[in-house]
Amino acid sequence: MELNRLRLFVSVCDELSFSRAAEREFVSQSSISHHVAALERELGAKLLDRSTRTVRITDVGARVLPIARQMLALEQAMHTAAAEPREKIRMAGNMSFGAQALAAVSLLRREYPDTEVDFVIRPFAERVSAVARGVCDIALIRGSTSMPGIQLEPLWSGDLAIAVARRHPLAARSTVDIGELADYPLLLPPRGEQVLIHKVVDEAFAATGRTAMMGPPVPQQKSSLLEIVADPRAWTVLYASTAPPSAEIVLLHEADARLTVTASAVLPDDREASAPVRALLSALREVGPRGEYA
């Protein structure tokens, strides 16, 4: 029995139309009619009642249809079993790692074209826990953490960008000492939502002997960048790779590199990383903090 005949029969049953089934299978309507008729002769029973307007599945056809589906599913299962296994890497991060993840996967595919990479968005604690539990192979984080079952591998260090509105008094500068911003309100999400950024900013101001003037916390549903445009004396800090191009926003660098953050890969500590995983780590290092090829 030809499986192609079963496939065409199933398509006609799904569409209840020879013409629509022909379009779905990219064959002519006469070819489908020929194969279904041949299947009926082979089984010695009428499977479909045809008219110029409608197609109806006969009682015999209704009994044959689920068996045909099973046979086609078994064919697909056989092809899957015979195929070479494809390595799959599960990587977790947040949206601030999006540019790096996409660029690194593009590099990886040059060396390992058959390796699949799933990039899933998870909160900090969940992505670290996922590696410890074996649910993910790699988690991307900034800062440090410790938990049984994991190890950290540094990827890159990068500076947070200082963002101000085009009308800000310091917008004409390319670099600023963070102490110069003490007299302007700093707009950030609540400390509980951006623990690392708050910590880095606090330490940077402490090194200058000054204190940040905190503005009202930016709610999750709002954007810090939009808020500083609305208040041109305000400023914020962010990961440079996440800043969208805008004529209204200027990015400044901190003169003494006091806003440096290290990005790391969280890996399981109970097994050696595979060759594709090592290649992905190398690609992440190559694209660096901005998510661009070196």
> What are the pLDDT digits (tens) for 15-35?
999 999 998 888 889 999 999
Enter the CATH code of domain 161-258: 3.40.190.10
Note the pLDDT of residue 286: 93
What's the per-residue H, E or C state across the chain? CCHHHHHHHHHHHHHCCHHHHHHHHCCCHHHHHHHHHHHHHHHCCCCEEECCCCEEECHHHHHHHHHHHHHHHHHHHHHHHHCCCCCEEEEEECHHHHHHHHHHHHHHHHHCCCCEEEEEECCHHHHHHHHHCCCCCEEEEECCCCCCCEEEEEEEEEECEEEEECCCCCCCCCEECHHHHCCCEECCCCCCCCHHHHHHHHHHHHHHCCCCEECCCCCCCCCHHHHHHHCCCCEEEECHHHCCCCCCEEEEEECCCCCEEEEEEEEECCCCCCHHHHHHHHHHHHHCCCCCCC
Which CATH architecture does the domain made up of 3-82 adopt? Orthogonal Bundle (1.10)
The full set of domain ranges for the chain reads 3-82, 88-157+262-287, 161-258
Asked if the domains 3-82 and 161-258 are classified in one and the same CATH topology, the answer is no
> What are the pLDDT digits (tens) for 81-126?
776 656 889 999 988 898 899 999 999 999 999 899 999 998 888 8
What average pLDDT does the structure give for the chain? Answer: 90
The type of residue at 31 is S
**Mean pLDDT, range 180-194, rounded to an integer:** 92
Note the pLDDT of residue 179: 94
**Mean pLDDT, range 211-229, rounded to an integer:** 90
Q: Which residues pair with 12 in a beta bridge?
A: none
Note the pLDDT of residue 80: 74
Of 226, 247, 9, 230, residue with least CA distance to 238 = 226
Indicate the burial class of 17 (C-beta count within 10 angstroms; 0-12, 13-18, 19 or more). middle
| Total Cβ atoms within 10 A of residue 222 | 13
Q: Which CATH number is 88-157+262-287's, of 3.30.830.10, 3.40.190.10, 3.20.20.10, 3.30.479.30?
A: 3.40.190.10
**Mean pLDDT, range 260-288, rounded to an integer:** 92
> What are the pLDDT digits (tens) for 21-75?
998 888 889 999 999 999 999 999 999 998 767 899 999 999 999 999 999 999 8
